[in-house]
Amino acid sequence: MLKTILRSLVFSIFCLSSSLAIAAEEGIASYYSDVFQGKKTASGKLYDRNKLTAAHKTLAFGTKVKITDLKNNKSVVVTITDRGPRSKKRMIDLSYAAAKKIGLINAGISKVRMDVIH
């Protein structure tokens, strides 16, 4: 009986912790130059401008995040595969494909909201 109660408690804690949302973070997004096409990222994967990927300073590789451009409200879900951006003023670097989906190509940079997806 005690084991059943403990299992239920552990399960409840797990469910509660996995349903808690990480607060959205706002900052400036930019996108990779084509110079990086085919080059190795910090995760060991090759950068492909046609995949929905991004670079972030601290998030774990493989983390999925939803990026929403605050000017036009367009969103894209990307996977973190690299470290960056190098600029301290920027929060995230998007692949070309991800930047195109949210209309970032012409502006080059934009204020975005980043939500970690569980």
Q: Split the chain (118 residues) into runs of 10 and give each run's mean pLDDT.
A: 48 43 83 92 96 96 97 97 93 97 95 93
What is the predicted pLDDT for the residue at 25? 93
What is the predicted pLDDT for the residue at 18? 42
What's the CATH number for 23-117?
2.40.40.10
* Contact residues for 68 (Cβ-Cβ < 8 A; gap 6+): 74, 75, 102, 112, 113, 114, 115
* Contact residues for 32 (Cβ-Cβ < 8 A; gap 6+): 47, 49, 55, 93, 94, 95, 96
* Contact residues for 19 (Cβ-Cβ < 8 A; gap 6+): 118
103 phi and psi, to 5 degrees? 75, 30
* DSSP assigned state of 35: G
Q: What is the pTM of this model?
A: 0.80
Both structure tokens of 84: 């960056």
What is the predicted pLDDT for the residue at 3? 52
What is the predicted pLDDT for the residue at 24? 87
Calpha distance 102→104 (Å, rounded): 6
Q: Where are the beta strands (DSSP E) in the chain?
A: 25-31, 53-56, 64-69, 75-82, 92-94, 110-117
| All structural domains of the chain with their residue ranges | 23-117
